[in-house]
Amino acid sequence: MKRYLRPTAFVDAPFGLDGRVARLAGGLVWFSAVEIIADEGGRRVSSELVPVSDIAAAIAGDGEAEAAWRRICAPRPSLRLGERMVRLDQPQVMGILNLTPDSFSDGGRYLGDPAAAASAGVALAADGAAIVDVGGESTRPGAATVWEGDEIERVAPVIRAMAAGGVAVSIDTRKAAVMEAAVGAGAALINDVSALGYDPRSLEVAARAGCPVALMHHKGDPKTMQQDPRYGDVLLEVYDWLEDRIAAAEAAGIARDRLIVDPGIGFGKALRHNLQLLNGLALFHGLGCPLLLGASRKRIIGALSNEAPVDQRLGGSVALALHGAQMGAQLLRVHDVAETMQAIRVWRGLRDEALTPIF
């Protein structure tokens, strides 16, 4: 039997609650209870809500659960992205810059115009994005694979210009050759929707690059991933899958403190699966890695708002970003940086006031 720990029962502040609350991953969120979920043979067999004050006794002798508890409470070190350090004791925004003809949201806007694309990336950073995520291949449902040479031609000059201007850049790619070219051009983070599983060389290339790596869960490839995806218990299955990819990365020489995890909202998931992952998001802190949430403008928002088209999903995108912040997500990958930053600043103001002692 395997037990999973999900922080819950969040509180405004820890004052006067010594021993009864815990800080989530060294961030701005405290919680007072843990849901212990037991799984046996791939089936959830029990769920128990345990106060933080009793958690040590409840998991005593279960080495796996004890390790997860330590990881839940451990601060996440800052990300070193070239010359920049990105602190993870508060939510940070990752801005999206698509250099494709067919991305579901803004494909084609900057294709073939590296100068305009680089200017757009610099603008995202000026709006508050700590990282700008550059992609040259669409991974929307139904998207076709792009030849790596074309992908490199799209992203490398833009990354080079942005990095030269002091922007912290990540490369959104599944291909080892693109990773190499992007890192050579100045990318300081690898964001792989296949969790280094698509290209046989990716693990080796990412290990040699020495930069942080984001591992995202997916089921199937972009062409087929939304064709009737099925899970037994999506929350636990995605957790186990990411745990296995962390182990593969570590075996390849990538230290856990360089890894970021992403549950992959919309990548091989139906609406219910996405909602279950979002509701249980805090579970993933048990993996001990920074948590990245990418839900901006995705199908889940349209499905819950009268089929709103992509360009009318700002409200839902901000709502999901704030949900991620409240669940302790350290990185929020979004299209609408300025609007998300405003929401996060308001959220941060509420947290700062709650964490200011009044007695």
Q: Evaluate if residue 210 carries a pLDDT over 90.
A: yes
* Residue 223's pLDDT band (cuts 50, 70, 90): low
Overall size of the chain counted in residues: 359
Residue 269 annotated in active site? no
Q: What is the pLDDT of residue 225?
A: 60
Catalytic pick among 298, 299, 313, 351: 298
Segment 151-192, tens digit of pLDDT: 999 999 999 999 999 999 999 999 999 999 999 999 999 999
Over residues 69-98, mean pLDDT: 97
CATH T-level fold of 79-354: TIM Barrel (3.20.20)
Long-range CB contacts (within 8 A, 24+) of 145-153: 145/222, 146/100, 148/175, 148/177, 148/178, 151/175, 151/178, 152/177, 152/178, 152/181, 152/182
Q: Evaluate if residue 108 carries a pLDDT over 70.
A: no
Residue 219 annotated in active site? no
* Residue 101's pLDDT band (cuts 50, 70, 90): confident
CB distance 98 to 106 below 8 Å: yes
CB-count burial class (<10 Å; 0-12, 13-18, 19+) for 41: exposed
Q: Evaluate if residue 258 carries a pLDDT over 90.
A: yes
Which range is least confidently modeled, 20-24, 111-115, 118-122, 234-238? 111-115
Q: How far is CA 162 from each of CA 94, 100, 297, rounded to the nearest angstrom?
A: 14, 17, 24
Q: What is the pLDDT of residue 224?
A: 64
CB-count burial class (<10 Å; 0-12, 13-18, 19+) for 273: buried
Segment 7-51, tens digit of pLDDT: 999 999 999 999 999 999 999 999 999 999 999 988 899 999 999
Q: What is the pLDDT of residue 104?
A: 59
Which range is least confidently modeled, 88-97, 111-120, 294-303? 111-120
Strand 30-40 versus strand 2-11 pairing type? antiparallel
Domain spans, the chain: 2-60, 79-354
Segment 189-206, tens digit of pLDDT: 999 999 999 999 999 999
Over residues 258-277, mean pLDDT: 96
Q: Evaluate if residue 144 carries a pLDDT over 90.
A: no
Mean pLDDT of the chain: 94
The helix (run of H) or strand (run of E) holding residue 206 is helix 202-209
* Residue 65's pLDDT band (cuts 50, 70, 90): very high
Q: Evaluate if residue 228 carries a pLDDT over 80.
A: no
Catalytic pick among 6, 76, 333, 351: 333
pLDDT > 70: percent of the chain: 96
Type of residue numbered 283: L
CB distance 72 to 24 below 8 Å: yes
